Amino acid sequence: MNHDLTSPPRVLFITYDGMTDPLGQSQVLPYLEGLARLGYEITLLSTEKPARLAAHRATIEAIVAAAGIRWEYISFTSRPPIVAKVYDQYRLRQAALRLHAAHQFDLVHCRSYVAAGIGQVLRQRFGVKFLFDMRGFWVDERVEGGIWDVRQPFYRTLYRHYKRKEAEFIAQADGIVSL
């Protein structure tokens, strides 16, 4: 990281949530607007559902433009379920690498496990500080909520994989957000 102390800190905020989703508008955008007011140079990379994007794109563009936030996004892929998440993560990673080449970020704030894998890459390759915004223990929440039945081999394998990744993210993060 070669940050010039006279320039504002450059932050890449990656989220698997869309800004056109209620969560993006109620939690992510106000947070980023506040950081932008404090002088941070913010680039936002999100995953947007096509129908919501069509309905709310202009609103989000107006909000980020007024705040001086650069907004880039990919389209959310939903099918096939597990493969779609891997594909989205690949596309987010490619976008993040392209954006880093252009803007040389000082910090990557990763909201979600999908985003954290990308932050881990930026930290390892380029020394970008990595903030893992896990909110909660997503993997355990999926099991406790009955979404993943770990008695089934497929979900047991997913659980183990993501628990290993979670431990890596926590160990490698320069900071962690957990509720």
Q: What pLDDT, on the 0 to 100 scale, is given for residue 81?
A: 80
The three-class DSSP label of residue 2 is coil
pLDDT digits (tens, 9 = 90+) for 43-69: 999 999 999 999 999 999 999 999 999
For residues 16 and 109, give the distance between their C-alpha atoms in angstroms, rounded to a whole number: 12
For residues 68 and 37, give the distance between their C-alpha atoms in angstroms, rounded to a whole number: 9
pLDDT band at 98 (very low <50, low <70, confident <90, very high): very high
End-to-end CA distance of the chain: 29
Q: Is 156 exposed, middle or buried (0-12, 13-18, 19+ CB in 10 A)?
A: middle
- Amino acid symbol at 23: L
String of DSSP letters for 71-101:
EEEEE---SSHHHHHHHHHHHHHHHHHHHHH
String of DSSP letters for 94-163:
HHHHHHHHHH--SEEEEESHHHHHHHHHHHHHH--EEEEEEES-HHHHHHHTTSS-TTSHHHHHHHHHHH
pLDDT digits (tens, 9 = 90+) for 101-131: 999 999 999 998 889 999 999 999 999 999 9
pLDDT band at 4 (very low <50, low <70, confident <90, very high): low
pLDDT digits (tens, 9 = 90+) for 125-176: 999 999 999 877 878 788 889 888 889 998 899 899 889 999 999 999 999 9
User: Does 3 score more than 60 pLDDT?
Assistant: no
Cα-Cα-Cα-Cα dihedral sign, residues 13, 16, 22, 27:
negative
